[in-house]
Amino acid sequence: MAPDQTTAAPVPLLSVRDLHVRFPTERGTVNAVNGVSFDLYEGKTLAIVGESGSGKSVTAKTLMNLLPRTARVSGEVTYDGRDVRALAAEKVKHFFGVQMTMVFQDPMTSLNPVKKVGEQIAETLRYHLGRSRSEALEEAVELLDVVGMPEPARRVSQYPHELSGGLRQRVVIAMALACQPRLLIADEPTTAVDVTVQKHLLDLLDELRRNRGMSMILITHDLGVAHGRADDVAVMYAGRVVETADARTLFFDMRHPYTEALLRSIPRIDDPVHHRLDPIPGRPPELIDPPDECAFAPRCIYAQSDCLGGVPELSGLVGLHRFACLHPTGTERGMAAMSSNRAAGATAAGLPVTGSGGGSG
């Protein structure tokens, strides 16, 4: 969206390079994130879209230094010229939660059920900004007002369980905003709430971001949310970014077959009634000992033998449209791959392809 904003600062606020996260488990090593790189510029929103197991939430938690101790992380994360992983290792105070904050899917993960919400916001202010008790409480009321909480003066003395899910999430957002962060990471912030509330919360985040010049990483499984609310979108699959571009390009001129298939599989409000959906066959891959091939190849109607010969690199310039595919949709190579698969009746990975199933879009 908003091509007029492309004159952003040349240095990204957050830069992630070749991030890998592995978890040793009883069953073997889970390769949760496999070489994720992206840049986020001041004032922009990046949506990271993916299904469960795609590594989107692990990526966010890595940025916030919230991974369990067992996780093995490699790669570079730079925030405003500072090495975030080094800051985490040194246990620097007043960075996480101040410069960078996070809002989770379930507001109760960030709220203490036995403390009044006002006190919880005030605590953040007192700890990070050294406010006095009364100052902090006053500011808490203001913050609740900012996030659109009705009757903020009364709400500060309520407990989380007295609030609806939407209002709780507003409290969490108020806490996140308390220290004027420059980067807000929202991990599925509206997944647990109803659509009418979701709209309010997304509008609120949008407005706050604009008014305060904040940057935002919006993690979501909902393509619609990503479409309406992000400048750039990164699509993740099996721990990798498979395609990233500005939102418009990604949704209307995508190159990765997974992006295409995902968009094609969801029912849309303006589709005709009883419109036959185009599901993605199969299911997401195992993250333990993944084979050395494109992770989407077994489900991809474009798959050729070279897709099975190694993991395709994310190609293209950082910041522009990039995709990790050897036979991208909407290109000649993609068309050729599709027609050869149709002629053969199956892809190189053995997935049956019928004449009608998807393709030339």
Partner 1 sequence: MAGTGHAQLRDRDDVLLRVKDLVVHFPAGRRRVVHAVSEVTFDVVSGETLGIVGESGCGKSTVARAIIRLVDITAGEVLYEGRDLARLEGEDLRRVRPQVQMIFQDPISSLNPRRRVRDVIAEGLAVWGDDIGSWSRDRIDELMDAVGVEARYGARRPHEFSGGQCQRIGIARALALDPKVLICDEPVSALDVSIQAQILNLLQDMKRRYGLTVLFISHDLSVVKNVSDRIVVMYLGKVCEIGSTEELYSSPAHPYTRALLASIPEPAPTVDVSEGDIGDELPSATAPPSGCRFHTRCPRATDVCREVEPATEQVGDADHFVACHHPVAVEVALGAR
Partner 2 sequence: MSPDGRPSRKGRASRQRLLRRFRVFRLVRSSKGPESDGPGEDEAVRRRLGVGFWLAVVWLVVMAFIALFAPMLPFADPTKVGYSGPREPPSADAWFGTDALGRDVFSRTMYGARISLAVGGFAIVFGMVVGGALGILAGYFRGRLDQAVGFAFFVLLSFPALVLAILITATLKRSLLVVSLTIGILAVAPVGLLARASTLVYAEREFVAAARVLGARNGRIIVRELLPNVVIPMGALTLLGMAVAVVAEGSLAFLGLSVAGDEAISWGKMIVDGAGLRDLQNATHVAMFPVVVMFVTVLALNFAGDRIRQYFDVKELAF
- Mapping DSSP onto H, E and C, the string for the chain reads CCHHHCCCCCCCCEEEEEEEEEEEECCEEEEEEEEEEEEECCCCEEEEECCCCCCHHHHHHHHCCCCCCCCEEEEEEEECCEEHHHHHHCCCCCCECCCEEEECCCHHHCCCCCCCHHHHHHHHHHHHHCCCHHHHHHHHHHHHHHCCCCCHHHHCCCCHHHCCHHHHHHHHHHHHHCCCCCEEEEECCCCCCCHHHHHHHHHHHHHHHHHHCCEEEEEECCHHHHHHHCCEEEEEECCEEEEEEEHHHHHHCCCCHHHHHHHHHCCCCCCCCCCCCCCCCCCCCCCECCCCCCCCHHHCCCCCHHHHHCCCCCECCCCCCEECCCCCCCCHHHHHHHHHHHHHCECCCCCECCCCCCCCC
The answer to whether 52 contacts partner 1 (rule: CB under 8 A) is yes
**Residue 83 interaction partner, one of partner 1, partner 2, none, beta carbon < 5-8 Å per kind:** none
Please tell me whether residue 271 binds partner 1 under the rule CB under 8 A.
yes
**For residues 280-309, which are near partner 2 according to CB under 8 A?**
283, 286
26 binds partner 2 (CB under 8 A): yes
Q: Does 276 bind partner 2 (CB under 8 A)?
A: no
Which listed residue (9, 24, 28, 90) binds partner 2 by CB under 8 A? 28
Rounded to a whole number of angstroms, the minimum distance from the CB of residue 53 to partner 2 is 8
Return the residue of 265, 315, 339, 354 that touches partner 1, per CB under 8 A: 265
Question: Among the candidate windows 22-30, 42-50, 143-151, 340-348, which touches partner 2 by CB under 8 A?
Answer: 22-30
CB-wise, 24 or 130, nearer to partner 2? Answer: 24
Give the residue, chosen from 45, 101, 120, 198, that forms a contact with partner 1 under the rule CB under 8 A: 198
Part in contact with partner 2 (CB under 8 A); list of ranges 23-31, 80-88, 167-175, 272-280 = 23-31
Q: Which residues bind partner 1 (CB under 8 A)?
A: 51-52, 150, 164, 166-167, 194-200, 202, 221-225, 227-229, 261-262, 265-271, 273-281, 283-284
Q: Which residues bind partner 2 (CB under 8 A)?
A: 26-28, 53, 283, 286
